[in-house]
Amino acid sequence: MDQQNGAPKGNVPGGAEGENRNTGGFKLEIDERQLATGPVELPDNRKRRASHGAPSMTRKIYYTEEERKKEEKAHRKRNRLKARKNKRVFSFVWLAMVLLVSFTLASYLIGGANDFFAVGRNQGIAEVEIPDKVSIEQLTELLLAKGIIAKPEFFQLYCKVTADEELFVGGKYQLDTNLDYEDIINRLQGGEENLESVRITFPEGLTALEVAALLEENEVCQAQDFLTALNETDFSNYWAISAMGETSGKYYKLEGYLFPDTYDFYKGEELDSVIGKMLNNFGDRLGKELKEQIEKSSMTLDQIVTLASIIQAEAANSRDMLDVSAVLHNRLDFGADYGIFALECDSTIYYPYKRASDVPETGAVPHGNYNTYNNSGLPAGAICNPGSDAIRAALNPSAEGDAPDYLYFCHADDGTAYYATNESDHIDNQYAAGLIE
């Protein structure tokens, strides 16, 4: 025993043999956290100082075994929630894709089924020339171009499954556009009679009576049968006729819609086909621009056609149509302010005939609903079949010079036009045109 320090001497574990340590009464207590290795969180005051010093480094907190287990459990829980959420999103996207594909496929199949049964096709007659030894692919293209089918891939598949390509007979055919696939194939495999065709040109401004006479002259049909069909056959499936409205006061219901053009007919052709060609052409030749103008105008299609027919009958040429249109519009719009209550157009007096000399001696009389001297406003219907220029003029009256104020017009025998804003000037114009002496 060391008398000076009062401490015992002995061997110290872990030291060199015989080496003595003087520890006194010191006791070391270390918490489990302090036994952990690695960086630890700094106190708040040291964090603040560190933020102004060297760049901060990622610091990790080390947990006890119990805390680590809790953290792992919470981590697994978060992952399960995230997976569940992702699964719901994936399921929703997948369902949306399945529905979209289903709807698209269903729409496609319904369209094919409708075409198979000719549902929704425009009704009419189409002419198609089928070459000898035609292939199914060629036949499909020809029928699609004529509007006889609408879904070529369905028709082509149906032909390949049910029809013998070698049985199609070449020739010219007239086919209804509302035939189903089976009827089309039967017609094309049964052959068509060799029909003699004729080409007829109908000038602008012809009346229904004159159109009928030309058709009979070329042996297409009987004139009276044609005129009867104009009133008695239902053509409401055509665009123009479906928008016509009231027809009870008309002499010939389809007057104005027999579009003037050159047509190919067959001798003895069905009346539905003859008239259908003209009605289809009316809609086609008007075009998108004029149709949009008609929709935006304050007049109905039938009113515009009726006005255009008077312009066609009265004007000397296409330029003159614009000024004639201005006079007629002005009379309708504000003529009453000047004591003018009727259009007073000579071209309407003898309808359905053009002039007094055309009226037969058999007692036939003009239709009173059309005489614009006796009736105010527009006549009951068109007085002839106008062309595109007249229809365009009816929609776009001249606005040049004094045209917005014109109330009168007349023409000399050579077609020279005279316009006036008042009756006095109109009388002077009649003298100048040689109409009065």
Convert the pLDDT of each residue in 34-84 to its tens digit.
555 444 454 554 444 444 444 444 455 556 777 777 777 777 777 777 666
Cα–Cα distance, 86 to 260 (Å, whole number): 68
- Pair (171, 303) in one structural domain: no
Q: Give the residue among 432, 406, 405 at the shortest CA–CA distance from 419.
A: 406
Which is more confident, 409 or 9? Answer: 409
- Pair (182, 236) in one structural domain: no
- Pair (265, 385) in one structural domain: yes
Share of the chain above pLDDT 90, in %: 49
Q: Is residue 328 a contact partner of residue 390, using CB atoms and an 8 Å limit?
A: no
pLDDT bracket for residue 1 (50, 70, 90): very low
* CA-to-CA separations, 3 to 11, 20, 23, 170, in angstroms, rounded: 18, 16, 16, 139
- Pair (263, 182) in one structural domain: no
pLDDT bracket for residue 4 (50, 70, 90): very low
pLDDT at 189: 86
- Pair (238, 386) in one structural domain: yes
Pair of tokens at residue 138:
């060629």
pLDDT at 239: 87
Domain at 177, CATH number: 3.30.1490.480
Average pLDDT over residues 1-27: 46
Residue 402 has pLDDT above 50, yes or no: yes
Q: Is residue 419 a contact partner of residue 331, using CB atoms and an 8 Å limit?
A: no
If one counts the domains in the chain, the total is 2
Average pLDDT over residues 183-202: 82
Asked, for residue 130, whether it belongs to a domain, the answer is yes
Q: Is residue 206 a contact partner of residue 390, using CB atoms and an 8 Å limit?
A: no
Cα–Cα distance, 386 to 203 (Å, whole number): 9
Q: Give the residue among 345, 349, 371 at the shortest CA–CA distance from 359.
A: 349
Asked, for residue 10, whether it belongs to a domain, the answer is no
- Pair (160, 238) in one structural domain: no
Residue 19 has pLDDT above 50, yes or no: no
Average pLDDT over residues 334-356: 94
- Pair (318, 396) in one structural domain: yes
Asked, for residue 425, whether it belongs to a domain, the answer is no
Asked, for residue 90, whether it belongs to a domain, the answer is no
* CA-to-CA separations, 20 to 1, 3, 12, 26, 235, in angstroms, rounded: 12, 16, 6, 16, 127
- Pair (271, 345) in one structural domain: yes
Tens digits of per-residue pLDDT, 156-187?
Answer: 999 999 888 888 888 888 888 878 888 889 88
Asked, for residue 43, whether it belongs to a domain, the answer is no
Which of residues 194, 215, 243 is at a domain's end?
Answer: 194
- Pair (299, 171) in one structural domain: no
Specify the DSSP class assigned to residue 370. Answer: G
Which is more confident, 256 or 243? Answer: 256
Cα–Cα distance, 431 to 437 (Å, whole number): 6
Q: Is residue 159 a contact partner of residue 117, using CB atoms and an 8 Å limit?
A: no
- Pair (347, 402) in one structural domain: yes
Share of the chain above pLDDT 70, in %: 80
Residue 123 has pLDDT above 70, yes or no: no
Which is more confident, 363 or 434? Answer: 434
Q: Which helix (H) or strand (E) holds 174?
A: strand 171-176
pLDDT at 55: 47
Domain that holds residue 256: 199-406
